[in-house]
């Protein structure tokens, strides 16, 4: 009976370790704010660019994109960002859109404006609802004002 108790204790310890590992956020190189990262996931691609909505200041925004994937379902990724970014606006294909925007298709979008960020600076999370090669893809986009 003692061996049975040891097995139960060992399984509980493994389960606890897995839960702690999945709840910890990884750090993104180049992030200006602590952006939560769903774990387990891996960075598939990363790139930066400068953009603007002002022809007289073409480098107004610095954009940093991280493309990630996970074997977890899109619902798990969605639930994670719903919890970690409570002040973010969540949209999906059922959300109303402005006349000059296209509706979302098979994806969820979170728009988060971290405290103190102004002038269009924001973090966006896009979660694909359709699996690609049995993985959920999601993108983290950081737009910051360049000063």
pLDDT by 10s per residue, the chain, length 147? 445 554 544 443 344 334 334 444 568 988 999 999 999 999 999 999 987 777 888 777 789 999 999 999 999 999 999 999 999 999 999 999 888 888 899 999 999 999 988 888 899 999 999 999 999 999 999 998 875
The radius of gyration of the chain from alpha carbons, rounded to an integer in Å, stands at 19
Global confidence as pTM: 0.77
Report the C-alpha gap between 18 and 139 in whole angstroms: 24
């Amino acid at each position: 009976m003692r061996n049975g108790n040891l097995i139960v204790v060992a399984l509980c310890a493994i389960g606890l370790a897995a839960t702690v590992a999945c709840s910890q956020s990884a750090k993104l190189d180049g992030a200006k704010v602590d952006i939560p990262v769903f774990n387990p996931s891996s960075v598939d691609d990363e790139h930066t660019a400068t953009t603007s909505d002002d022809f007289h200041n073409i480098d107004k925004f610095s954009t940093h994109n991280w493309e990630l994937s996970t074997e977890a379902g899109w619902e798990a990724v969605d639930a994670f960002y719903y919890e970690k970014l409570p002040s973010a606006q969540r949209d999906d294909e059922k959300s109303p859109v402005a006349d000059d925007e296209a509706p979302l298709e098979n994806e969820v979008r979170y728009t988060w404006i971290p405290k103190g960020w102004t002038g269009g600076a924001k973090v966006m999370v896009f979660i694909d609802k359709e699996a690609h090669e049995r993985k959920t893809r999601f993108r983290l986009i950081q737009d910051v004002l360049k000063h």
